[in-house]
Structure 1
Amino acid sequence: MLSVGSILKNEREKKGLLLIDIEKQIKVREKYLKAIEDENWNYFSSKIYITGILKNYSRALNLDNKKVLAFFRRDYEKKEEVRFKRKISSSYLTSETKKFLRIGLIILALFFVFYFIFQLKTYFSPPDFTLLSPTKTNFSIEKKIKITGKTEKDTSITIAGERIYQNKEGIFNYELSLNEGINKITIILLGANGKKTTIEKTFYKKTP
C-alpha cells in the first residue's frame, strides 16, 4: 500500500533528484527529509512541522500537496502512540534560514526600541499645537473671527480662561470678538502627562 514517504521518495528518484537537491530548494535539512521518507515521525517536535515540510516537499516535486497530506493523515492516525520531541532542534533550520531568523529578530527588537523611545518622548513632551485658521493676522471689517486649532485628543484646552473641548481628531474652535486695534489671545494646553504649552496669538483690526 502506498504511503506518504514512499510517494515522495519514488517521485524524487523518478526525477533524478537527491535529498540534498530538495534541501536546497525548500531550506530543510537532508536528515529531516529522510525522516519524512522513512516516516519516522518521532524525529519531529509536532504534527505542524511535519505538515509544513510535506507541503513544501510535495510542491518541490510538483505533486498535489493536498493528496500528499491526505496520505499522511491516514498513516498518522494509525499511530496514536507517536510521541514528538518537546523542543525543535536548532539543526532543523538551515544556516540560511537561521540567518533570516536572526535578521527578523533584530528588526523586531529595533522596532520595539524605537517604539519605546517614541513613547518616552511623547510622555515627557508638552502637547503639540497647530493653528489651522485664520491664516492671517490683519482684519478690517470682521467683528469676529473663528480660531481653529489642533492638538492631542487628551489635552485640556483653555482660551481666555474658558475651557474648550476638541473633537475626536483633536480639532477645536473658538470665536474671538475683534476690537479696534490689537487683540491678544492666550491658548493654554495641558497634556495628560502634566506638561503645559502656552501659545500667544495677536490679531489686528483696522477699520478702513
Structure 2
Amino acid sequence: MERVGQVLKGRRERLGMTLSELEKQTEIKRHTLRLIEDNDFEALSNPHYSEGLISKYANAVNFDAEHLIEAHRQEIPNQDQTILSTIKAFKREDTPTYRSKNNEAIQLLVVTCGIVIITAIIWILAVIIF
C-alpha cells in the first residue's frame, strides 16, 4: 500500500503541477509540501496540523481528502500509549536532579549589606576627618 505522501506526490505529478504552482494554490510552504510528500509528518513544525495539510493538498490535486486522512490515521503509531507514557513520566513523585536552589536573593542581600557597610565606613571617616 502506498503511503499518503506518495499518493499525493504521484497525483500532483500526473496532473503536471510543480511544487511552486501547488505552493501558490494551497498557500503551504514548499518545504512543508516536501515533508508531506516524504511522509515526514513528525518533522512539521506542528505534526497535529497534518490532517489539515493533507486535506488542503488533496483538494488542490482533486483527490478524496477523507480517504487520505483515514489512511494517515492508520499510518501513525498508537498515540494513546505515547500520551499515557508521557503523562506517567511527568507524574513521578521524585524531583528532577537538574533543579538547584536559586541563590539570587541571598546574593542580592550580601551585595546590599556590603554597600551599606562601605557607605557607613566612608561616612564615619568623613565625620572624623572633618
Question: Which residue pairs with 2:28 in the alignment?
Answer: 28
Tell me which residue corresponds to 1:77: 77
Task: State the identity %.
Answer: 29
Corresponding position of 2:107: none
Identify if the C-alpha distance between structure 1 residues 35 and 79 changes in structure 2 by more than 3 Å, giving closer, same or farther: farther
Look up the equivalent residue of 1:5 and give its one-letter code. G
The TM-score with structure 2 as length reference comes to 0.57
Change (3 A) 1:81 1:17: farther
Structure 1 length-normalised TM: 0.36
Secondary structure at the aligned position of 1:77 is classed as coil
Matches within 5 A, 1:185-204: none
Cα distance, 1:80 vs structure 2: 8.6
Offset of 1:70 from its aligned partner?
1.2
For 2:5 and 2:43, locate their aligned partners in 1 and report how far apart those are by CA, in whole Å: 14
2-structure distance, mates of 1:76, 1:59: 22
Deviations 1:132-166 (A, max 9, x none): xxxxxxxxxxxxxxxxxxxxxxxxxxxxxxxxxxx
* 2:50 corresponding residue in structure 1: 50
Q: Distance in 2 between matches of 1:81 and 1:69?
A: 21
Code of the residue aligned with 2:7 in structure 1: it is: I
Higher relative contact order (CA 8 A, sep 6+): 2
How many residue pairs align between the two structures?
82
Q: Which has more radius of gyration? A: 1
Structure 2 residue runs of 5 or longer lacking an equivalent are: 83-130
Partners of 2:80 and 2:35 lie apart in 1 by: 18
Instruction: Kindly state the Cα deviation for residue 44 of structure 1 after the two structures are TM-superposed.
Output: 1.5
The 5 A counterparts of 1:146-185 are: none
- Using a 3 Å threshold, how does the CA distance of structure 1 residues 79 and 7 change in structure 2: closer, same or farther? farther
Q: What SS does structure 1 have at the residue aligned with 2:76?
A: helix
Which aligned runs of 4 or more in structure 1 are off by greater than 2 angstroms? 45-48, 77-82
- Distance in structure 1 (CA, Å) of the matches to 2:62 and 2:45: 26
Work out the CA distance in 2 between the residues paired with 1:32 and 1:62.
19
2:17 matched residue in structure 1:
17
2:5 aligned partner, one-letter code: G
The residue identity in structure 2 corresponding to 1:63 is F
Structure number having the greater helix percentage: 2
Provide the rounded CA distance (Å) in 2 between the counterparts of 1:43 and 1:55: 18
Distance 1:76 1:56 in 2: 19
Distance in 2 between residues matched to 1:57 and 1:2, nearest whole Å: 16
Aligned-residue Cα RMSD (Å) equals 2.2
Q: Deviations over 1:45-95 (max 9, x none)?
A: 33431111101000001101000101111111368999xxxxxxxxxxxxx
The change in CA–CA distance for 1:45 and 1:31 in structure 2 (over 3 A counts) is closer
User: Kindly tell me: are residues 10 and 79 of structure 1, through their superposed partners in 2, closer, same or farther at Cα, counting changes over 3 Å?
Assistant: farther
CA distance in 2, matches of 1:42, 1:81: 17
